[in-house]
Amino acid sequence: MDRILIEGPNRLIGEVAIRGAKNAVLPLMAASLLVDGWMTITNVPRLRDIDTFNTLLMHLGADVETDYDGGVLRIRTPQLKSDEAPYDMVRTMRASVLALGPLVARFKRARVSLPGGCAIGARPIDLHIMALKKMGAEVSVEHGFVNVKAERLVGASIRFDTVTVTGTENVMLAAVHAEGTTVIGNAALEPEVVCLADTLIKMGARIKGAGTDTITIEGVNALKAVEVEVIPDRIEAGTFMVASAMTRGNVLIKNCPYKFLDALIVKLKETGTEIRQEKDGVRVIGDIPIRSVDVKTMPYPGFPTDMQAQMMSMMATAGGLSVITETVFENRFMHVSELRRMGADITIDGRTAVVRGVRALSAAPLMATDLRASASLILAGLAAHGTTEVSRIYHLDRGYERIEAKLLGLGAKIKRVKA
Ligand code: UD1
């Protein structure tokens, strides 16, 4: 297994460009199942999760053409070869569940493996199932699979009791072909949901309210394939912002989705970080000592759970006491035990972590446990004294394109050691 070695501490200085958002590409790829023509998706990053979804689409019967250098993905699904999203694919990437909505909408049936336990909590799909049932689908769970059948889906009023991003996306993907009007209450407001809605509208769907907590979808008979550009990745951008802030860096982040990063920017400014919009991007200048801040993750537009681990690394090196509360997932503190091995002073009580900044971390061998936790360990390694070795970095490759090359370009002493 590949490992990453980082020699710290090191100031990051220079420019970095942000690529398209993984969490926006995946639902667009799912949307391609709705039509038989070629969908063209541009600004696509090279990531393992996207490869996994490609494999799933090809398994279902899609033709896929990739030009990763150009960031272009072309997909068409003239017919269905299989209606099943197998366990191996859903297990490695929970977002495979996004195939459910479009498969039922177009082919009237789908069989998706239950995702099972996940490193960051139980992550059930009960809300996806509840919504499809309300739309008239017959749902049964057998042998670890959810089987969904619907001769015709009908519009329904669906209210989520928990805000769910892929749940909201799945209902939109299913409802575009339903008979009548579907209303989603307590819908997710994430920019990636809006990106999917805009694309579906371009394809001919009738959708109103995306970006608010009530989304209305009026079913239509036919949709057409289109070309669409993916929005920039706010989590990749946020990760580089924190990297610059915690290394006393001076980094210009190009193609930075500033408007999607409000909650993070407010917090970073409170730490003493200077953030300013320039003609070519967003400049982030770190300062020492880092002031401790409290953070509570929330659905968008709140502080993103996908930035919690990175922020915790920064707080581990800050000058005071920080309380970090994770409200979105019940078990998303796996990075804590690794950070402690670097000398961080963190105690956990349920969903709350109390971080007493120790100013300087010391390098240690570390193990990545999930995607964003991996990023937090890389950041800690940049700030720590000595050589940090992060193993199991395949998690990192799921969601960050060439992160070590980008950090190297900013002056980090970092290298990947091939297995
Ligand atoms: C998406 C993102 C992920 C991000 C998360 C929260 C993608 C591909 N992934 O994941 O990066 O961390 O949003 O911002 O976009 N829940 C249920 N029942 C369900 C569905 C969800 O109880 O049927 C719960 C989850 O366990 C969790 C909460 O709802 O506690 C939010 O999860 P959700 O928004 O669905 O996360 P994902 O869409 O999987």
Residue of 92, 134, 146, 165 best suited for mutating to test ligand 1, as the one with most atoms within 8 Å of CB:
165
Same domain? For 172 and 186 the reply is: yes
- Whole-number pLDDT of residue 188: 98
Q: Are residues 197 and 252 in the same domain?
A: no
**Ligand 1 surroundings by CB, under 6 angstroms:** 23, 26, 94-95, 121-128, 162, 164-167, 192, 305-306, 328-329
255 in the same domain as 223:
no
CATH of the domain at 318: 3.65.10.10
CA distances to 62, 304, 307, 377, 400 from 236, rounded to whole Å, are 29, 12, 9, 15, 7
Structural domain of 252: 3-19+232-417
Same domain, 360 and 274: yes
Of the candidates 13, 118, 354, 408, the residue annotated as catalytic is 118
Nearest to 198 by CA among 236, 229, 153, 239: 229
pLDDT 10s digit of each residue in the chain, 419 long? 889 999 999 999 999 999 999 999 999 999 999 999 999 999 999 999 999 999 999 999 999 999 989 999 999 999 999 999 988 888 888 899 999 999 999 999 999 988 765 565 567 899 999 999 999 999 998 888 899 999 999 999 999 999 999 999 999 999 999 999 999 999 999 999 999 999 999 999 999 999 999 999 999 999 999 999 999 999 999 999 999 999 999 999 999 999 999 999 999 999 999 999 999 999 999 988 899 999 999 999 999 999 999 999 999 999 999 999 999 998 899 999 999 999 999 999 999 999 999 978 999 999 988 899 999 999 999 999 999 999 999 889 999 999 999 999 999 999 999 88
**What's the pLDDT at 241?**
98
Mutate which of 29, 166, 168, 331 for ligand 1 pocket (most atoms within 8 A of beta carbon): 166
Quote the pLDDT of residue 261. 98
113 alpha carbon – ligand 1 mean position (Å): 17
Residues 257 and 329 in one domain: yes
Q: What is the DSSP track for 311-379?
A: HHHHHHTSSSEEEEE--S-SS--THHHHHHTTT-EEEEETTEEEEE--S--B--EEE--SHHHHHHHHH
* Alpha-carbon Rg for the chain in angstroms: 21
Residue 264 CA, distance from chain mean position: 15
Quote the pLDDT of residue 242: 98
Token pair 């009908």 is found at: 154
Closest residue CA from atom 4 of ligand 1: 306
d(Cα 241, Cα 269) in Å, to the nearest integer? Answer: 11
- Atom 32 in ligand 1: residue holding the nearest Cα: 164
Cβ atoms of 272 and 299 within 8 Å: the answer is: no
Residues 186 and 223 in one domain: yes
In angstroms, what is the span from residue 195 Cα to ligand 1's centroid?
Answer: 17
Distance of CA 345 to the CA centre of its chain: 28
Q: Of 166, 196, 229, at which residue does a domain stop?
A: 229
At residue 94, the pLDDT reads 86
Question: Do 140 and 255 sit in the same domain of this protein?
Answer: no
